[in-house]
């Protein structure tokens, strides 16, 4: 008989779990207890990365038809909790282990594996009627620090690492940061469509993967780095040359054994095939896949 494993999961957070249920019944805590096959891989990611994560899962499952990868999308600061409670095999997020997380890992004597998977950028978007096509990085900082009211900044959610990224990037006091939280990427897009004095910050992964352009009704705003005159954008070449100020790396973190399902999926992502999927998506892979050109002489 095939072995199974039990995990307590939030059914509402999981995509496609229904087809995997062998048995399902409520536990005392009110959540569903699900019996799932051993070859099922659970991953958790910030919702901003869902398009690229979906693309990777699609190819991985095609190559491994006996395995199923179930993604859970939530806010980035909640991701480690899924590892801590053994609900997922692998998480995707834009920062390394915090001191508290490292202490938890040391206490449990775990051996975390951290992989840099790809890079994205925080893209600046605005309504098509926004009066500028680019802004100075100094203008952005002035608004974030309440020294200017030229426009308003709107972010997805205070539980993402976007806030922390801005704190670290510009040494802004958390109580001083002048930005609104919309709740989700779609809400940011909806808000900037309706107001021509809003600039929204969303991950470039949200619109570069499987899409030819930004959502209808918004435009990409260029960011001119301090001391420069040319506007930069969160595209592959600017991420590669590190000229875009709001670039960041997306990491995979798992604490399973080297032969665990989470490690297997991470290895696929770091393989040439996985990195090519990321390259094709418009994001910057951690390892640029080699390109072989055959020259034929006559």
Domains in the chain, number = 2
Task: Report the relative pairing of strands 247-254 and 113-127 from DSSP bridges.
Answer: antiparallel
| Mean confidence (pLDDT) of the chain | 85
Contact 283, 71 (CB under 8 A): no
- Is residue 239 located within the same domain as residue 275? no
Query: Is residue 294 in a domain?
Result: no
Strands (E) across the chain are located at 4-9, 23-26, 32-37, 40-46, 68-74, 90-93, 113-127, 134-136, 152-155, 180-181, 198-203, 218-224, 247-254, 284-285
pLDDT by residue (tens digit) across 232-271?
999 999 999 999 999 999 999 998 777 788 899 999 999 9
Query: Is residue 68 in a domain?
Result: yes
- Is residue 20 located within the same domain as residue 111? yes
Query: Is residue 83 in a domain?
Result: yes
- Is residue 23 located within the same domain as residue 128? no
Query: Is residue 298 in a domain?
Result: no
Domain that holds residue 243: 120-248
- Is residue 58 located within the same domain as residue 132? no
- Helical H segments across 85-221, by residue range: 99-107, 137-144, 162-170, 185-194, 205-208
Distance of CA 172 to the CA centre of its chain: 23
- Is residue 162 located within the same domain as residue 194? yes
pLDDT by residue (tens digit) across 177-231?
899 988 888 899 999 999 999 999 999 988 876 545 677 889 999 999 999 999 9
């Amino acid at each position: 008989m095939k072995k199974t494993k039990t995990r307590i999961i939030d059914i509402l957070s999981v995509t496609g779990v229904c087809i995997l249920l062998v048995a399902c019944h409520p536990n005392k805590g009110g959540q569903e207890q699900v019996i799932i096959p051993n070859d099922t891989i659970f991953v958790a990611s910030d919702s901003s990365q869902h398009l690229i994560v979906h693309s990777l899962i699609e190819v991985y499952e095609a190559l491994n038809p006996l395995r199923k990868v179930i993604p859970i999308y939530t806010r980035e600061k909640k991701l480690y909790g899924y590892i801590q409670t053994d609900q997922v095999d692998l998480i995707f997020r834009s920062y390394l282990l915090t001191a508290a997380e490292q202490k938890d890992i040391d206490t449990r004597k775990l051996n975390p594996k951290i992989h840099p998977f790809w890079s994205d950028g925080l893209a600046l978007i605005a309504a098509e009627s926004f009066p500028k096509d680019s802004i100075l990085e100094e203008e952005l900082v002035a608004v974030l620090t309440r020294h200017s009211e030229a426009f308003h900044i709107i972010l997805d959610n205070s539980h993402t690492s976007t806030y922390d990224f801005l704190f670290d990037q510009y040494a802004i006091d958390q109580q001083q940061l002048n930005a609104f939280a919309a709740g989700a990427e779609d809400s940011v897009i909806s808000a900037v469509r309706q107001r021509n004095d809003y600039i929204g910050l969303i991950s470039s992964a949200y619109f570069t993967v499987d899409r030819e352009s930004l959502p209808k009704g918004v435009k990409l705003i260029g960011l001119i780095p301090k001391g420069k005159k040319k506007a930069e954008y969160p595209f592959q070449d600017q991420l590669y040359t590190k000229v875009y100020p709001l670039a960041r790396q997306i990491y995979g973190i798992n604490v399973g054994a080297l032969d665990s399902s989470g490690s297997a999926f991470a290895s696929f992502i770091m393989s040439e095939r996985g990195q090519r999927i990321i390259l094709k998506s418009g994001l910057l892979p951690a390892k640029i896949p080699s390109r072989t050109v055959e020259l034929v002489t006559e």
